[in-house]
């Protein structure tokens, strides 16, 4: 058994293939981008949250690993991708020689990240949830025809900036969005993201934080 690092995960060619092929499947179905750019951003947000909250370096690394692997289940099917992804991650990490305790932490986080079945049961899982659900941005939209946008395209394309910020007292996490209402309304955002924001609030509670959603400098949640 050996301590597998986040850098090793990023360099693994099989993992890179799984992420690319899963994203290609989602692209065929009309979903927004779920490529290496998405999982890398989720990993960076998870790292920021746990480092800011004083987690040890191993927990931070495991959260980044979970974040990087969290969407590989889309290779199997979009339905239940959190659970299939957790099983895939189990076999990948076992192959690499990761200790069972570390595998358990990563698999638990992946299996609990999707809002349909999510449960923010620990800090690593909670950091992954917030990182995933806060990744709303224009560059995730693949459709180049703005007249053919669905609601997910409109919301992501309208979001010019998305920032996760924890206050100096480490009591509050803010998700601040700058939205161009020419492309999508605030109500569009709530129509498809309300469940995700409620899940973020629950995740923040696990981390000992309050959660606030701020859109165009107005507090919404």
> Which has the closest alpha carbon to 133: 187, 79, 204, 185?
204
Positive or negative torsion for Cα 84, 85, 86, 87: positive
Q: Which two tokens stand for residue 200?
A: 């973020």
* Separation CA 174–CA 185 (nearest Å): 20
Q: Is pLDDT of 144 > 90?
A: no
* Separation CA 19–CA 68 (nearest Å): 9
The fraction of the chain above a pLDDT of 90, given in percent, is 81
* pLDDT value of residue 182: 82
Render 102-145 in DSSP notation, one character per residue: HHHHHHHHHHT-STTT----SHHHHHHHHHHHT---GGG-----
Read off the pLDDT of each residue in 102-116 and give the average, rounded to a whole number. Answer: 96
Read off the pLDDT of each residue in 43-59 and give the average, rounded to a whole number. Answer: 98
Q: Which two tokens stand for residue 26?
A: 């989602």
Q: Is pLDDT of 35 > 80?
A: yes
Q: Is pLDDT of 1 > 90?
A: no
The dihedrals phi and psi of 144, each to the nearest 5 degrees, come to -90, -10
* pLDDT value of residue 221: 76
pTM: 0.95
């Amino acid at each position: 058994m050996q301590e597998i690092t986040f850098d090793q995960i990023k360099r693994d060619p099989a993992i890179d293939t799984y992420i690319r092929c899963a994203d290609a499947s989602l692209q065929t179905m009309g979903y927004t981008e779920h490529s290496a750019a998405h999982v890398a951003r989720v990993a960076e947000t998870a790292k920021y949250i746990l480092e800011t909250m004083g987690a040890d370096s191993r927990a931070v690394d495991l959260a980044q690993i979970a974040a990087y692997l969290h969407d590989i289940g889309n290779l199997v099917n979009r339905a239940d991708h959190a659970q299939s992804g957790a099983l895939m991650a189990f076999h990948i990490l076992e192959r690499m020689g990761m200790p069972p305790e570390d595998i358990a932490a990563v698999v638990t986080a992946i299996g609990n990240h999707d809002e349909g079945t999510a449960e923010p049961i620990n800090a690593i899982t909670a950091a992954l949830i917030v990182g995933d659900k806060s990744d709303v941005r224009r560059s995730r939209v693949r459709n180049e025809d703005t007249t053919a946008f669905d609601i997910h395209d409109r919301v992501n394309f309208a979001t010019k900036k998305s920032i996760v910020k924890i206050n100096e007292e480490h009591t509050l996490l803010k998700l601040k969005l700058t939205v161009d209402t020419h492309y999508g309304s605030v109500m569009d955002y709530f129509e498809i993201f309300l469940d995700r924001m409620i899940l973020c609030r629950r995740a923040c509670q696990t981390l000992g934080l309050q959660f606030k959603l701020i859109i165009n400098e107005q507090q919404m949640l």
